[in-house]
């Protein structure tokens, strides 16, 4: 069985709430404690990409069969290619002695809850909806339609995160230092 400390951590919350910012800092400070699951894709390998390292490269038929067997936590199609994360890929990270961190949406969260991964869930919430919009705009990575789409999706992420039992810890990312400390405390102390 996976020791509790290696159980996957699922981080979710609205786009722009600061998940990547917090995780980037975590990986920089603890480079050997965490691992990434290897995604599956139907796209062709690029020069230098190795199967099982950069991606698990699958044919479309193999990918569709894996969907039928309910092997995916989440999957999506981008520009004609399918991409997804399997339960097994997350288990492989734990088997390598590292903690797998998943940054996924609410659909993915629900799907992880239907597995035997024993994951722990962190909901990263913005201080307010106004501040979330300010961060999305000041990030400067999205055009107006994309910002509006993210803000609309934020409402259901916030609703879900506020439901009893949806997460093990809710971290309000107001002050970054404080939020980061809460994340580290949760990951390393409560996991023992």
Ligand X SMILES: Nc1ncnc2c1ncn2[C@@H]1O[C@H](COP(=O)(O)OP(=O)(O)OP(=O)(O)O)[C@@H](O)[C@H]1O
Instruction: Decide if 42 contacts 66 (C-beta within 8 A).
Output: no
CA–chain centroid gap for 182, Å, is 18
Residue 134 CA to residue 27 CA, distance in Å, equals 26
- Tokens standing for 116? 């035997």
Which of 2, 7, 20, 39 touches ligand X (CB under 6 A)? Answer: 20
Residue 41 in contact with ligand X, rule: CB under 6 A: no
Q: Is 15 in the site for ligand X (CB under 6 A)?
A: yes
Tell me how far, at minimum, the Cβ of 57 lies from ligand X, in Å: 25
* Separation of alpha carbons 38 and 96, rounded Å: 12
| C-beta closer to ligand X: residue 2 or 21 | 21
Among 9, 10, 12, 16, binds ligand X (CB under 6 A): 16
Residue 171 in 3-state DSSP?
strand
Only segment of 33-41, 55-63, 73-81, 173-181 that touches ligand X (CB under 6 A): 173-181
Q: How far apart are CA 8 and CA 17, in angstroms?
A: 21
Q: Name which of 51 and 128 has its Cβ closer to ligand X.
A: 128
**Minimum separation from the CB atom of position 174 to ligand X (A):** 6
Residue 186 CB neighbour total at 10 angstroms? 16
Counting every residue written for the chain, the total comes to 192
Q: Rule CB under 6 A: say whether 17 interacts with ligand X.
A: yes
Show the site string, 119-158: x = touches ligand X by CB under 6 A, - = not. ----------------x--xx-------------------
Structure tokens at 12: 């979710």
Q: Does residue number 108 form part of the binding site for ligand X (CB under 6 A)?
A: no
Residues that bind ligand X (CB under 6 A): 15-21, 135, 138-139, 173, 176, 179
């Amino acid at each position: 069985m996976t020791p509790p400390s290696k159980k996957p951590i699922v981080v979710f919350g609205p786009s722009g709430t600061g998940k990547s910012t917090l995780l980037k800092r975590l990986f920089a400070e603890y480079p050997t404690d965490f691992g990434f699951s290897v995604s599956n894709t139907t796209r062709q390998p690029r020069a230098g990409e190795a199967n099982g390292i950069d991606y698990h490269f699958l044919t479309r038929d193999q990918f569709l069969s894996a969907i039928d067997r309910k092997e995916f936590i989440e999957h999506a199609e981008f520009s004609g290619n399918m991409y997804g994360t399997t339960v097994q890929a997350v288990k492989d990270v734990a088997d390598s002695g590292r903690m797998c961190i998943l940054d996924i949406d609410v659909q993915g969260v629900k799907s992880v809850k239907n597995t035997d991964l024993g994951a722990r869930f962190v909901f990263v919430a913005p201080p307010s909806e106004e501040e979330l919009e300010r961060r999305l705009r000041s990030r400067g990575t999205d055009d107006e339609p994309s910002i509006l789409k993210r803000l609309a999706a934020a409402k259901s992420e916030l609703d879900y995160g506020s439901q009893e039992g949806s997460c093990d810890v809710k971290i309000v990312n107001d002050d970054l230092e404080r939020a980061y400390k809460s994340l580290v405390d949760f990951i390393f102390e409560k996991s023992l």
